[in-house]
């Protein structure tokens, strides 16, 4: 069974606007599904492909987009149970059989499928993906939560989720997020929901205000503070918080060299640094601080699909709010919106939403 009439916006050449393309009939292999896209978030990784020339694993032209939620409208022979289900498509879909997957490290699976990188992605009306590891969405959703909003769970929520899980954040901890936009703003909420005392650091006062409303006990504007002042403010907050955990849990979610410098500089005895944001640029660090402080630094490439249901549950329960952190735009605006994201002219995470046609049953 194939799906006809689908279209999307693809990257043809680095540095050029996305182009609309009619997709050929989407046929499903036995293990595949076709998802009618409800929403697809725009990530800075997409900008990396389109503007910075980071190579996609499948050669261009390619429809980008890896933060996808929607409804399964076609399914291969072995995936029939998914038909009609609302799902979140994991940004990284591991193979399940390779040595990394078998060793419990699915995020570094070399046979992984990432929509918008290994094949056409979600800046489209429909996308074909493997059915393994899809995350089912409970229905009906609570008021105020729509399927398209859940798209950002596929990366902006689950990537900090996994970093927080690996760091073992508990109610005894002080957690610090450097950069509290799309990714860090969700990290603040998750850490606060887990009981940690949370510090938000950013250069944007609007983002800091939002963080203060959604879980941050202390907000610091690093554009008007030097490293020494930041350290003193964090130390004071940690003392006041009464938390007894050994070492700060620091999350670099800005993906900027300046943010990475601040994050590394905040490490204390037994501290933990999670590298969540990405920048191709370099920073100069005294790496021996890790040794002298008996500290830990760790990165994570996305999140194992088996963590998605728990992260989704936090959102459904209202412990993590998505709506204040995102902005919905019609799929047709993809080229212009994408350009705005690349120029950092948007303040919220943008979700592209295909315009509905009549034969779709929607409330
Ligand atoms: Zn991403
Ligand atoms: Zn694998």
Tens digits of pLDDT across the chain (363 residues)? 688 999 999 999 999 999 999 999 999 999 999 999 999 999 989 999 999 899 999 999 999 999 999 999 999 999 999 999 999 999 999 999 999 999 999 999 999 999 999 999 999 999 999 999 999 999 999 998 999 999 999 999 999 999 999 999 999 999 999 999 989 999 999 999 999 999 999 999 999 999 999 999 999 999 999 999 999 999 999 999 999 999 999 999 999 999 999 999 999 999 999 999 988 899 999 999 999 999 999 999 999 999 999 999 999 999 999 999 999 999 999 999 999 998 888 889 999 999 865 444 443
Q: Where are the alpha helices (DSSP H) in 214-320?
A: 227-241, 257-265, 288-292, 308-316
Q: How far is the CA of 43 from the centre of ligand 1 (A)?
A: 5
Residue in the block written with tokens 């050994």: 246
Q: How far is the CA of 342 from the centre of ligand 1 (A)?
A: 14
Q: Which two tokens stand for residue 262?
A: 């601040």
Q: Closest ligand to 115 CA?
A: 1
Looking at the chain, how many residues does it have? 363
Residues in the 5 Å CB sphere of ion ligand 1: 43, 45, 155
SS3 (DSSP) at 354: coil
Q: Closest ligand to 93 CA?
A: 2
Question: Please, are residues 192 and 215 in contact by the beta-carbon 8 Å criterion?
Answer: yes
Going across the sheet that includes 197-202, the strands are 218-221, 197-202, 174-178, 249-252, 272-275, 296-299
Residue in the block written with tokens 């909420």: 189
Question: Please, are residues 326 and 149 in contact by the beta-carbon 8 Å criterion?
Answer: yes
User: What pLDDT is stored for residue 280 in this prediction?
Assistant: 84
Does residue 140 have a cis peptide bond before it, meaning omega lies within 30 degrees of 0? yes
- Looking at the DSSP bridge assignments, the partners of residue 19 are 10
User: What pLDDT is stored for residue 347 in this prediction?
Assistant: 86
H or E stretch covering 340: helix 334-342
Q: How far is the CA of 118 from the centre of ligand 2 (A)?
A: 14
Q: Closest ligand to 156 CA?
A: 1
Question: Please, are residues 9 and 123 in contact by the beta-carbon 8 Å criterion?
Answer: yes
User: What pLDDT is stored for residue 182 in this prediction?
Assistant: 86
Q: How far is the CA of 352 from the centre of ligand 1 (A)?
A: 14
Question: Please, are residues 158 and 311 in contact by the beta-carbon 8 Å criterion?
Answer: yes
Residues 6 or more apart in contact with residue 359 via CB below 8 angstroms: none
d(CA 242, CA 90): 37
Question: Please, are residues 33 and 82 in contact by the beta-carbon 8 Å criterion?
Answer: yes
d(CA 281, CA 261): 12
Q: How far is the CA of 46 from the centre of ligand 1 (A)?
A: 7
User: Closest Cα to residue 111, out of 82, 132, 127, 128?
Assistant: 132
d(CA 323, CA 152): 10
Q: Do the strands 197-202 and 174-178 form a parallel or antiparallel pair, or are they unpaired?
A: parallel
Q: How far is the CA of 51 from the centre of ligand 1 (A)?
A: 15
Question: Please, are residues 213 and 200 in contact by the beta-carbon 8 Å criterion?
Answer: no
Question: What are the two backbone dihedrals, phi and then psi, of residue 343, each rounded to the nearest 5 degrees?
Answer: -90, 10
Q: Closest ligand to 46 CA?
A: 1
């Amino acid at each position: 069974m194939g799906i006809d009439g689908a279209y999307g916006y693809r990257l043809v050449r680095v540095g050029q606007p996305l182009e609309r393309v009619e997709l050929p009939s989407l046929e499903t292999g036995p293990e595949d599904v076709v998802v009618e896209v409800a929403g697809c978030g725009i990530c800075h990784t997409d900008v990396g492909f389109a503007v910075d020339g980071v190579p996609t694993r499948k050669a261009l032209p390619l429809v980008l987009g890896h933060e996808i939620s929607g409804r399964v409208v076609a399914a291969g022979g072995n995936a029939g149970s998914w038909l009609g289900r609302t799902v979140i498509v994991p940004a990284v879909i591991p193979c399940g059989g390779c040595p990394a997957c078998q060793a419990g490290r699915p995020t570094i699976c070399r046979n992984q499928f990432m929509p918008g990188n290994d094949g056409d992605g979600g800046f489209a009306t429909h996308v074909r993906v493997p059915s393994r590891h899809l995350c089912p969405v409970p229905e009906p959703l609570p008021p105020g939560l729509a399927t398209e909003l859940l798209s950002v769970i596929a990366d902006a929520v689950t990537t900090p989720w996994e970093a927080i899980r690996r760091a073992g954040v508990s109610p005894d901890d002080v957690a610090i997020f450097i950069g509290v936009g799309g990714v860090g703003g969700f990290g603040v909420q998750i850490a606060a929901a887990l009981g940690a005392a949370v510090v938000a650091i950013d250069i944007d006062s609007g983002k800091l205000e939002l963080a203060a409303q959604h879980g941050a006990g202390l907000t610091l504007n690093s554009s008007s503070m030097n490293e020494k002042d930041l350290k003193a403010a964090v130390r004071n907050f940690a003392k006041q918080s009464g938390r007894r955990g050994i070492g700060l849990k620091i999350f670099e979610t800005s993906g900027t060299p300046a943010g990475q410098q601040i994050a590394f500089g905040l490490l204390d005895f037994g501290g933990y640094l999670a590298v969540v944001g990405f920048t191709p640029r370099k920073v100069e660090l005294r790496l021996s601080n890790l040794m002298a402080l008996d500290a830990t630094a760790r990165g994570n490439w996305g999140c194992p699909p088996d963590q998605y249901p728990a992260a989704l549950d936090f959102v459904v329960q209202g412990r993590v709010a998505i709506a204040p952190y995102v902005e919905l735009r019609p799929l047709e605006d993809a080229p212009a919106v994408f350009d705005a994201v690349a120029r950092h002219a948007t303040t919220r995470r943008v979700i592209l939403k295909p315009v509905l046609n009549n034969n779709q049953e929607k409330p």
